[in-house]
Structures are given as C-alpha cells and as structure tokens.
C-alpha cells in the first residue's frame, strides 16, 4: 500500500505507540487521585503539556487538552463569543475554513451572531484589505486558518494577527495542518487561540489541544470536574495525551530535514504531473503552500473516479469532494477559489509525509497517467472538447 493522504490522517509513529502502551496497561491511575499510581499519570500529562508549550513558545498553563481539532475549533469560537458578549456579536472568518470552524460559525449565526465569510483570491490567500474592511465596532473574533487542509495554502498569518491586535479583536487560528510543518510561535505570530490535532502529526486520533493566551477570558467547554483548569472537565485521555506529547517532540526534532524532503518530493511530483499529463492545473498557491501538499484539477474527468481507481492499485489519495462525497458537491474550498464546477470535480489531493519516497511518487505517476487517459477516453466532455 502507498499512503499519500496525510492531510486526512497520519500513521501512528512507532515510538509514539511505545510511549502510550504503559498508560493503556499498568499505569491506569486517574491523574486526579492522590496516590503514587495516579501521580504517574498526572506527571505524564504535565510532561506532555510542557513539550507542547515549548513547541509553540507558550506557557504550559495556556495549553488545554481536547478531544481533537474539531473540539478545539468549536471551543475557541463558542467560548470567546460567550465570554465577550458585552463587546459585540460579529465574527470574521473565511470561506475556506475547515467545517469544524464553518459549521460552528453557522451555529453562532443561529444564536444571534453575525458572521462575515471572507472571500479568498484564486490562489486561496486572504486579502488583508478585505479583512480590514470587514471589521466592525462589534467584531469580537477573527478565526482564520493557518494552512488549508485541501489546497495547502498558507495565510499571511502575522499580518492578520497584527490587524486583529490593532483593533483589539481576538484572533483564533486553526493550526491543525500547520503544526509540525511550519514553525509556530504564539509569541511572534501573535495568536490568542490556536487549535491543533495529534493525528495529523503521527500522534493518536481523538486528542488535540487548544492554546489560549492567558489574558483571554474563556468559558468552560465541558462542565464537571476541575480538570484542565476547570474549563474542560472529564478525566483526561492519558494515553492519548502522552502520545501527542511524544509525537510533538518527534515533529519538532525532525521538522527541518523532514519538511525539506517533503517539499522536494512535492515539487518533483508537481513537475512530473505538469510535464506528463495534459489539461491539468495546480490548485492553491505555488509558493505559499504546505510542504507535503499537491492539489490538482484534471480537466474532463472526476477526481472521485481517480481516487477509486488508484485505490484498486493500493494507492490512497483524496479528491476535492471527499468530505462531501455523500452529497456529491464539489469542495467548498475549491468553489471559493472561483473555479468552474466541472474543474473542481476533477480535483485530486496528494499529501506526503516525511516517510514518503520518490519510488512511491514514481509508482503513483505510472498509475495516474494510465487512469487519467483511461477515464478521458470515456469522457464525453473530452470528446466534445476534441470536437468529435
């Protein structure tokens, strides 16, 4: 099997599994209890919190463990809005956010909030002037993702953060795709809130964290015990948190070399696709994109068909309509780039990891070329284009 869908999830690192196992076996103490067995769990959680805080230049008490990236996004938006009702009821976000942000914003709209969904340029970049124009006296929160999960676009995050700060507005960023791929410093980049998910950087599923700058007023997301400073109650997912800490450590230690390798392999793939397959375009920004992300549109055919045929060859990739596959509508991200629907349908996302190899990309290329030409032979749109 060749796994090239690392934006969807990543393989658990073997060292991460090794670190987690004792906490799924002998070290089962509840971190909130008082005896030695419990202290082992508590110390392991706090060790992970310290690693994560170091990774983003935050303080450990600014890290709140969650049940993943979606929960962190939900919490960030709801809590900032609830705690700042006196200031206003306006949120600014973009049309290309992950559904965890978009659908939370839609929920807020049903509860008295007004939301501006900013357009992006055709390469997926937010326009700073448009952001400034959207700000109202009632704006309480700007939520704009660091890097996009479909097209890999990296936003001018420091400029956005500066605009937010100048206007005294809280700034949340969904950093799920950025963590471990782009250096993050909440100090330098000026985030008030940052969402991260472990399973996107070779950690376990169902665990993540929300960074909250200490001055930000927050409301509890889960009411109950005193865990996570009383804001996210419930006995912690000890093994998950320990695994996330280890994965974060590995991600930081390996980032430089790994990212360079991913970027070179990505550019090799993009170069070959452009050279060897006609009627194709790269979606997103040529330079401001995640090191492992390549997103193409193949004209005249459907991305989903390519995905299914590559699957039969043992290759895992994703199409631009994966999240909405059941609904059979093209991705909201690709539509926000202003591309015609039929081009959006032909999209294919290949996302590499540090373990991806040139041999894997070479095999992908052989199969992809065959599949694309096979599908085009059956495509009436292609026939029409050729004038037959």
Q: Does 202 bind ligand PLP (CB under 6 A)?
A: no
Decide: residue 137, CB within 10 A, 0-12 exposed, 13-18 middle, 19+ buried.
exposed
Give CA–CA dist 81/108, Å, rounded: 9
Binding window for ligand PLP (CB under 6 A); candidates: 68-76, 118-126, 162-170, 241-249: 68-76
108, 126, 176, 269: which one binds ligand PLP (CB under 6 A):
176
Contact 251, 202 (CB under 8 A): yes
Q: Does 189 bind ligand PLP (CB under 6 A)?
A: no
Give CA–CA dist 32/243, Å, rounded: 19
Question: Catalytic one among 81, 105, 316, 323?
Answer: 323
Q: Does 197 bind ligand PLP (CB under 6 A)?
A: yes
Q: Of 302, 344, 270, 385, which is closest to residue 96 (Cα–Cα)?
A: 344
Q: Of 176, 255, 236, 224, which is closest to residue 47 (Cα–Cα)?
A: 236
- CB 8 → ligand PLP: shortest distance, Å? 7
Q: Is 323 considered catalytic here?
A: yes
Q: Does 174 bind ligand PLP (CB under 6 A)?
A: yes
Q: Does 243 bind ligand PLP (CB under 6 A)?
A: no
CA angle 107, 172, 105 (to 5 degrees): 10
**3-state secondary structure (DSSP) of residue 29:** coil
Q: CB-wise, 6 or 41, nearer to ligand PLP?
A: 6
Select the residue whose beta carbon is closest to ligand PLP and give its number. Answer: 69
70, 74, 104, 297: which one binds ligand PLP (CB under 6 A):
70
Q: Does 68 bind ligand PLP (CB under 6 A)?
A: yes
Contact 115, 103 (CB under 8 A): no
Q: Does 6 bind ligand PLP (CB under 6 A)?
A: no
Give CA–CA dist 182/290, Å, rounded: 8
Q: Does 200 bind ligand PLP (CB under 6 A)?
A: yes
| Range 253-312, binding ligand PLP (CB under 6 A) | none
Antiparallel, parallel or unpaired: β 318-319 and 2-3: unpaired
31, 69, 284, 320: which one binds ligand PLP (CB under 6 A):
69
Q: Of 338, 339, 378, 347, which is closest to residue 120 (Cα–Cα)?
A: 338
143, 149, 297, 353: which one binds ligand PLP (CB under 6 A):
149
| Range 97-126, binding ligand PLP (CB under 6 A) | 98, 100
Which residues are annotated as catalytic?
323
What is the binding site for ligand PLP (CB under 6 A)? 68-70, 73, 98, 100, 145, 149, 174, 176-177, 197, 199-200, 208
């Amino acid at each position: 099997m060749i796994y090239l869908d690392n934006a969807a999830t990543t393989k658990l690192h073997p060292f991460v599994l090794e670190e987690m196992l004792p906490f799924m076996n002998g070290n089962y103490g509840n971190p909130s209890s008082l005896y030695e067995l419990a202290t082992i769990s508590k110390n392991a959680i706090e060790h992970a919190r310290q690693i994560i805080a170091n990774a983003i230049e935050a303080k450990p008490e600014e890290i709140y463990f969650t049940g993943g990236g979606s929960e962190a996004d939900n919490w960030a938006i709801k809590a900032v809005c609830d705690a700042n009702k006196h200031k206003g009821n306006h949120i600014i976000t973009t049309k290309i956010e992950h559904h965890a942000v978009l659908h939370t914003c839609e929920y807020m709209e049903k509860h008295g909030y007004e939301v501006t969904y900013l357009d992006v340029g055709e390469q997926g970049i937010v326009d700073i002037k448009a952001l400034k124009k959207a700000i109202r006296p009632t704006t309480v929160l700007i939520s704009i993702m660091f890097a996009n999960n479909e097209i890999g676009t990296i936003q001018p995050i420091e400029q956005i953060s500066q605009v937010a700060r100048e206007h005294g507005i809280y700034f949340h960023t969904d950093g799920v795709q950025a963590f471990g791929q782009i250096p993050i410093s909440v100090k330098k980049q000026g985030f008030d809130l940052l969402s991260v998910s472990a399973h996107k950087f070779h950690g376990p599923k169902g665990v993540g964290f929300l960074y909250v700058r200490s001055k930000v007023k927050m409301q509890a997301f889960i009411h109950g015990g005193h865990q996570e400073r009383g804001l996210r109650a419930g006995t912690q997912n000890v093994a998950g948190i320990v695994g996330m800490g280890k994965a974060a450590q590995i991600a930081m230690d390996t980032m430089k070399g790994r990212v360079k390798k991913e970027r070179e392999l990505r550019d090799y793939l993009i170069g070959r696709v452009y050279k060897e397959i006609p009627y194709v375009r790269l979606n997103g920004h040529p330079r401001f994109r995640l090191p492992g992300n390549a997103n193409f549109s193949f004209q005249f055919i459907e991305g989903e068909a390519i995905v299914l045929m590559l699957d039969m060859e043992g290759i895992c990739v994703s199409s631009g309509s994966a999240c909405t596959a059941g609904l059979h509508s093209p991705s909201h991200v690709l539509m926000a780039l202003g591309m015609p629907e039929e081009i959006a349908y032909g999209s294919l996302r290949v996302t590499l990891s540090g373990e991806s190899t040139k041999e894997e990309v070479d095999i992908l290329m052989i199969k992809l070329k065959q599949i694309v030409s096979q599908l085009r032979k059956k495509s009436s749109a292609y026939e029409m284009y050729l004038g037959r």
